């Protein structure tokens, strides 16, 4: 009996400490918060995914379903590209959807974020049409075959009338950060050990950065062959700052190859044609594409090409090579083309 008393005292002390100390969140292995966005106190990460370069689509306005056409109408949105983190949080008992949404709004504002769009239920989408926020905006279209799809399931099958969503942007000296928050109440009792009505959050964050160029540089002799064959070539290695005619540093390799082409082919005169996608109105994009074409000409003349051999033209989105309805198509439409004037004159 004497020997067991110290053990009993130690056990009692352990139990008392357990009752006083805060319980640590039981996050899935390897998961962590984004350094700019706090979690609701007591939340647990039950799924996490990160990518060095990925896309995120954010709503800037309400998603409206067309019953007559049986499809989602076009809605204001923006697609961001860069380093991405996606976390799924299980919130503590007693925190409702509205309270969680307001907490995130306040935290983001405190960090300097601009709230781009926020609301609940009918404010964010037409309720009763298969949860378009989850499916069409966030791409939750699987069943439950993978760990990620299992995590998505409660979001796909929630009560949209109670769900909340927000999108936000932070402008920094070294780039932008865009984030979206989707908050729902669990309607599937004990799915993934989540109690009925427990609030869940999906957080997506993208830190915008330039895509690493993984395509081979188009060499001057390849440009010459393509122009000889088709009278033109579309180039995707010439990049500009967002909404600007300022050439990015990574464009120099392609511009140097164009200068080499023109020096090797003194008889070749070119239209330098700027093309955009459909983001923004036509006239604005015509002005932007013209300024971008002029920036390319200015760089080439600085590299020793005679200005009389180059004629800048901006055509806005008048000549697409792919649909502007998808991000992939829009990326193909944003380009600079070199067109052989073939004896024609610009003036």
Q: pLDDT tens digits, residue range 94-135?
A: 999 999 999 999 999 999 999 999 999 999 999 988 899 999
Residues 239 and 292 in one domain: yes
Domain residue limits at 137: 25-208
Residue 23 pLDDT > 50 = no
Cα end-to-end distance, the chain, whole Å:
108
Query: What does 269-330 look like in DSSP terms, one character per residue?
Result: -EEEEEE--SSS-HHHHHHHHHHHHHHHHHHHHHTT--GGGEEEEE-TTSS-SS-TTSHHHH
Residues 96 and 238 in one domain: no
Residue 174 pLDDT > 90 = no
Q: Give me the phi and psi of 238, to 5 degrees please.
A: -105, 115
Residue 335 pLDDT > 70 = yes
Tell whether 281 is covered by a domain: yes
Tell whether 16 is covered by a domain: no
Residues 151 and 284 in one domain: no
CA–CA separation, 289 and 293 (whole Å) = 6
- Give how many domains the chain has, as a whole number: 2
* In contact, 289 and 274? CB cutoff 8 Å: yes
Residue 299 pLDDT > 90 = yes
Residues 184 and 249 in one domain: no
Tell whether 4 is covered by a domain: no
Tell whether 31 is covered by a domain: yes
**Domain endpoint, select from 162, 177, 208:** 208
Residues 162 and 239 in one domain: no
Residues 153 and 46 in one domain: yes
**Domain endpoint, select from 152, 184, 208:** 208
Residues 121 and 235 in one domain: no
Residue 81 pLDDT > 50 = yes
Q: Which residue has the tokens 């139990």?
A: 15
125 alpha carbon, distance to own chain's centre: 20
Q: What is the pLDDT of residues 188-211, one digit of tens each?
A: 877 888 999 999 999 999 998 654
**Domain endpoint, select from 181, 208, 235:** 208
Residues 296 and 240 in one domain: yes
In sequence order, what E strands does the chain have? 44-59, 65-66, 71-72, 77-90, 114-120, 164-172, 175-185, 199-208, 232-235, 270-275, 310-314, 335-340
Residues 200 and 243 in one domain: no
Q: What is the pLDDT of residue 242?
A: 78
CA–CA separation, 276 and 74 (whole Å) = 20
Tell whether 253 is covered by a domain: yes
Tell whether 185 is covered by a domain: yes
Q: How confident is the model at residue 145 (pLDDT cuts 50, 70, 90)?
A: confident
Integer CA distances (angstroms), 223 to 9, 238, 258, 299, 334, in order: 83, 14, 8, 18, 18
Q: Which strand (E) or helix (H) includes residue 229?
A: helix 220-230
Residues 236 and 202 in one domain: no
Q: Any idea what the CATH number is for the domain that residue 274 is in?
A: 3.30.1330.60
- Whether the model pTM is above 0.75: no
Q: Which two tokens stand for residue 162?
A: 């109670």
Residues 132 and 190 in one domain: yes
* In contact, 62 and 125? CB cutoff 8 Å: yes
* In contact, 167 and 58? CB cutoff 8 Å: yes
When pLDDT is averaged across residues 305-326 and rounded to a whole number, the result is 94
Q: How confident is the model at residue 228 (pLDDT cuts 50, 70, 90)?
A: confident
Residues 265 and 326 in one domain: yes
Query: What does 98-120 look like in DSSP terms, one character per residue?
Result: HHHHHHHHHHHHHTTPEEEEEEE
Q: How confident is the model at residue 74 (pLDDT cuts 50, 70, 90)?
A: confident
Beta strand 77-90 with 44-59: parallel, antiparallel or unpaired?
Answer: antiparallel
Q: Which two tokens stand for residue 113?
A: 């974020």
Q: How confident is the model at residue 179 (pLDDT cuts 50, 70, 90)?
A: very high
Q: Which two tokens stand for residue 131?
A: 């949860």
Tell whether 346 is covered by a domain: no
| High-pLDDT (> 70) share of the chain, % | 90
Tell whether 203 is covered by a domain: yes
């Amino acid at each position: 009996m004497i020997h067991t008393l110290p053990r009993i005292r130690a056990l009692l002390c352990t139990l008392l400490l357990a009752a006083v100390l805060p319980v640590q969140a039981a996050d899935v292995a390897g998961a962590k918060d984004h350094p700019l966005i706090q979690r609701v106190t007591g939340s647990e990460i039950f799924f996490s995914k990160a990518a060095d370069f990925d896309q995120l689509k954010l709503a800037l306005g309400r998603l409206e379903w067309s019953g007559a056409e049986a499809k989602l109408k076009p809605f204001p949105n923006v697609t961001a590209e860069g380093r991405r983190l996606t976390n799924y949080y299980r919130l503590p008992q007693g925190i409702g959807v509205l309270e969680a949404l307001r907490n995130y709004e306040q935290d983001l504002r405190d960090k300097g974020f601009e709230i781009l769009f926020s609301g609940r239920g009918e404010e964010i989408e037409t309720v009763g049409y298969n949860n378009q926020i989850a499916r069409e905006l966030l791409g939750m279209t699987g069943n439950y075959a993978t760990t990620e799809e299992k995590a998505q399931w409660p979001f796909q099958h929630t009560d949209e009338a109670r769900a909340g969503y927000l999108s936000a942007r932070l402008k920094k000296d070294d780039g932008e950060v865009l984030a979206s928050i989707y908050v729902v109440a669990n309607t599937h009792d004990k799915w993934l050990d989540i109690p009925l009505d427990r609030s869940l959050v999906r957080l997506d964050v993208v830190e915008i950065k330039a895509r690493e160029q993984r395509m081979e540089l188009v060499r001057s002799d390849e440009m010459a062959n393509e122009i000889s064959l088709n009278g033109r070539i579309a180039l995707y290695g010439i990049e500009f700052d967002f909404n600007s005619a300022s050439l990015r540093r990574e464009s120099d390799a392609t511009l140097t190859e164009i200068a080499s082409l023109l020096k090797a082919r003194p008889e070749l005169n070119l239209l330098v044609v700027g093309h955009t996608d459909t983001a923004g109105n036509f006239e604005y994009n015509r002005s932007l594409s013209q300024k971008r074409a002029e920036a390319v000409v200015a760089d080439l003349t600085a590299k020793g090409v005679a200005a009389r051999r180059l004629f800048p033209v901006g055509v806005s989105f008048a000549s697409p090579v792919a649909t502007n309805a998808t991000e992939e198509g829009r990326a193909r439409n944003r380009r600079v083309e070199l067109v052989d004037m073939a004896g024609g004159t610009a003036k």
